[in-house]
Amino acid sequence: MVNPVLLIAVPLGLAFAIPLFGFISQKLEKYIPPVAMLFNLIVSLSLIPKVLEQPIVVSIGGFPPPFCINLVAGPVGVLFSAIIALVGFLVSIYALDYIKEGATEKYHMLYLLLLTGATGVVLTGDIFNLFVFFEILCISSYALVAYLGNRAGIESAVKYLIQGAIGSSLVLIGVALLYGLFGTLNMADIARNIDSVSPISVFVPLVLLITGLGIEGAIFPLNAWLPDAHSSAPSSISAILSGIAIEVGIYAVARVIFTVFGASSIFLFLVLLGLLTLLVGEMSAFSQKNIKRLLAYSSIGQIGLIVFALGIATSYGVVGGLFQIISHSLSKALLFLAVGYMIYRTGSMDISTLDGMGKRMPFTSLAFTIGAFSLVGLPPFVGFPSKFLIVRAALAKEEVLFTVLIALVLLGTVIEGAYFFRVIQTLYFKGKRVSPNKREEAPIAALIPIGILMILIIVIGVYPRLVTDILNSAASELLNRIGYIKGVLG
């Protein structure tokens, strides 16, 4: 059996070794992140059949839990680490050609460490360790947002850092209160004892943890940093922040609510919060003229949908939420990667300058169209089955409230469709001044990941059965706290 700790140790070791490879040859550095992520992808995929039977719990240092830190590679963890490795691998190939300026060696190190932090967050079974890996994820993303060193990048990074630092302090207070109450940091051990103290005293750490982790997860009203940070980072980093970082934030919130606290009383609050996030995000996206800000606000909308689905907290709802995470990771990564070279060619982020791109960059425009259709939820793309599951989950509740709410969600989807169609219209049907033989397609290193993402979006959209097994068992891991506690502590 492959030990899941390798998913963290190997990329971490390779990230430390990048300067050493740099002493041999400067050209070698940029090939390290793809190699590390390919390794992670293979290991994650090979772990899936095993974790479907039962979660793999490994302790670090060789002491029994809760006396040491342990990793829990259950279906949820392995599903997330596979998504992280997949998107990370594809974006790192894109970056081979895209990142040419600045301190490229530092870019590749920070990039790999960001993904390692994300993998650590989804695999760890210890609440303080989760905080540490969360900080790795956050601090490397602050630095990467500022990577271009221009006015917008620095300003956004400062805002992101201030809000993120407040969030991490709140998380740390929450962790400290939990340690004071229960004398342990192991999530399963805390979950086992959570009912032994009065609900009011565990409510405060719960709120602190949700607030602190929710800042990275961009839940409304904690998302003021997101549009700035996602739009002023380099496009490859925007793809990672939108496709991975906020999903990991949502994972952490979900893990805390579902597994550690088992707080079923706040599920309805979560549903409403998700809906609010969705509507705010989609409406702000509608009025944007800057293409990257539009995509960033659309990410907020999608996060709202995911939170809405998780808050339904039935098996259908959680499956739908996790499916939506897959769909959003793939589609939003594709959109940012496609937009990256369009902006590079036109030199502006204004939507109106993208006219005629359908002729200038046909493949990239097609990729943008597929990503947008998938996010809106059109068949046969991956967004369709995920949105369908969420609608079905809400209707299966058979309550008037949920029927009204899902109608509002669909209204959000309509707004989403409207602004994406406006962009697509600009790409294909405006701008006659470009002659059709003037092609400026993106380089091959960018087209390969874009192509693979397109194929994946269509294949999973047509055969959703490819992922239903892992999604079903992941949903039951989140909903079945007792099983998780037994799996870790025996």
Partner 1 sequence: MSFLNHYIYYIGAFGLIFIGLYIVLVKHNLIKVIIGLSIMETGVNLFLISIGYIKGGTAPIFSTPEIEAARMVDPVPQALVLTAIVIGVAVLALALSLAIRLYQHYGTLNLRKIKEQRW
Partner 2 sequence: MRRIISILLLGIIALGITLSLAKIPFGTPKTKVGRYYIDKGVEETGATNIVTSVVVNYRAFDTLGEVTVLFIAAIGLGAVLTTGRRKKPERKIEPASLVLYTGCRFLFPLILLFGAYIFVHGHLTPGGGFQGGAIVASAFVLTYLGCRERRISERGSKLAESLGGLIFVIVGLVGLAVGGYFLMNFLPKGIPNFLFSAGIIPILYIVIGVKVGSELAGIIDNLIEESE
| Residues at the contact surface with partner 2, assessed by CB under 8 A | 3, 5, 9, 12-13, 15-20, 23, 58-63, 66-69, 101-103, 106-107, 109-110, 113, 116-117, 120, 128-129, 132-133, 135-136, 139-140, 142-144, 146-150, 154, 157, 173, 177, 179-181, 183-185, 197-198, 200-205, 207
User: Of 38, 121, 73, 75, nearest to 468 (Cα)?
Assistant: 75
Cα 294 to Cα 329, 334, 345, 394, 396, distances in angstroms: 16, 15, 19, 28, 33
Neighbours of 362 (CB within 10 A): 15
Site for partner 1 in 273-292 (CB under 8 A): 284
For residue 168, state whether it binds partner 1 (rule: CB under 8 A): yes
**Residue 291 near residue 350, CB atoms below 8 Å:** yes
For residue 176, state whether it binds partner 1 (rule: CB under 8 A): yes
Could you give the CA distance from residue 213 to residue 234 in angstroms, rounded to a whole number?
A: 24
To partner 2, the closest distance from the beta carbon of 61 in angstroms equals: 5
For residue 70, state whether it binds partner 1 (rule: CB under 8 A): no
Q: Which is nearer to partner 1, 284 or 314 (CB)?
A: 284
Query: Nearest 5°: CA angle at 245, between 243 and 246?
Result: 85
Residue 106 binds which entry of partner 1, partner 2, none, CB below 5-8 Å type-dependent: partner 2
Q: How far is CA 479 from the centre of its chain?
A: 21
Could you give the CA distance from residue 154 to residue 147 in angstroms, rounded to a whole number?
A: 8
Residue 396 binds which entry of partner 2, partner 1, none, CB below 5-8 Å type-dependent: none
Neighbours of 397 (CB within 10 A): 18
Strand 56-59 to 70-73 pairing: antiparallel
For residue 222, state whether it binds partner 1 (rule: CB under 8 A): no
Query: Nearest 5°: CA angle at 294, between 114 and 449?
Result: 50
Kind and range of the H or E run holding 57:
strand 56-59
Cα 369 to Cα 57, 152, 289, 358, distances in angstroms: 42, 28, 18, 10
Asked if the peptide bond before residue 221 counts as cis, ω within 30 degrees of 0, the response is: yes
To partner 2, the closest distance from the beta carbon of 140 in angstroms equals: 5
Residue 151 binds which entry of partner 1, partner 2, none, CB below 5-8 Å type-dependent: partner 1
> Which residues 6+ apart lie within 8 Å of 352 measured at CB?
289, 426
To partner 1, the closest distance from the beta carbon of 150 in angstroms equals: 8
To partner 2, the closest distance from the beta carbon of 321 in angstroms equals: 28
Kind and range of the H or E run holding 58:
strand 56-59
- Span interacting with partner 1, options 40-48, 177-185, 334-342, 369-377, rule CB under 8 A: 177-185
Q: Which is nearer to partner 2, 436 or 490 (CB)?
A: 490
Could you give the CA distance from residue 147 to residue 236 in angstroms, rounded to a whole number?
A: 11
What does the block give as tokens for 404? Answer: 């009204």
Could you give the CA distance from residue 453 to residue 407 in angstroms, rounded to a whole number?
A: 30
To partner 2, the closest distance from the beta carbon of 148 in angstroms equals: 7
To partner 1, the closest distance from the beta carbon of 151 in angstroms equals: 5
**Residue 215 near residue 245, CB atoms below 8 Å:** no
For residue 375, state whether it binds partner 1 (rule: CB under 8 A): no
User: Of 258, 390, 422, nearest to 322 (Cα)?
Assistant: 390
Neighbours of 351 (CB within 10 A): 18
To partner 1, the closest distance from the beta carbon of 468 in angstroms equals: 39
For residue 185, state whether it binds partner 1 (rule: CB under 8 A): yes
Q: Which is nearer to partner 2, 68 or 459 (CB)?
A: 68
Residue 17 binds which entry of partner 2, partner 1, none, CB below 5-8 Å type-dependent: partner 2
Residue 60 binds which entry of partner 1, partner 2, none, CB below 5-8 Å type-dependent: partner 2
User: Of 479, 477, 461, nearest to 53 (Cα)?
Assistant: 477
Q: Which is nearer to partner 2, 109 or 215 (CB)?
A: 109
Residue 411 binds which entry of partner 2, partner 1, none, CB below 5-8 Å type-dependent: none
Q: Which is nearer to partner 2, 64 or 379 (CB)?
A: 64
To partner 1, the closest distance from the beta carbon of 106 in angstroms equals: 12
Residue 155 binds which entry of partner 1, partner 2, none, CB below 5-8 Å type-dependent: partner 1
Sequence length of the chain is 490
Q: Which is nearer to partner 2, 179 or 267 (CB)?
A: 179
Tell whether the torsion through CA atoms of 427, 359, 240 and 154 is positive or negative: negative
Interface residue with partner 1, options 38, 58, 165, 434 (CB under 8 A): 165
- Span interacting with partner 1, options 56-64, 156-164, 315-323, 416-424, rule CB under 8 A: 156-164
Q: Is 72 helix (H, G, I), strand (E, B) or coil?
A: strand
Site for partner 1 in 111-150 (CB under 8 A): 128, 132, 135, 139, 142-143, 146, 149-150
To partner 2, the closest distance from the beta carbon of 32 in angstroms equals: 12
Residues lying near partner 1 in the complex (CB under 8 A) are found at 128, 132, 135, 139, 142-143, 146, 149-152, 154-159, 161-162, 165-166, 168-169, 172-173, 175-176, 179-180, 185, 227-228, 231-232, 284
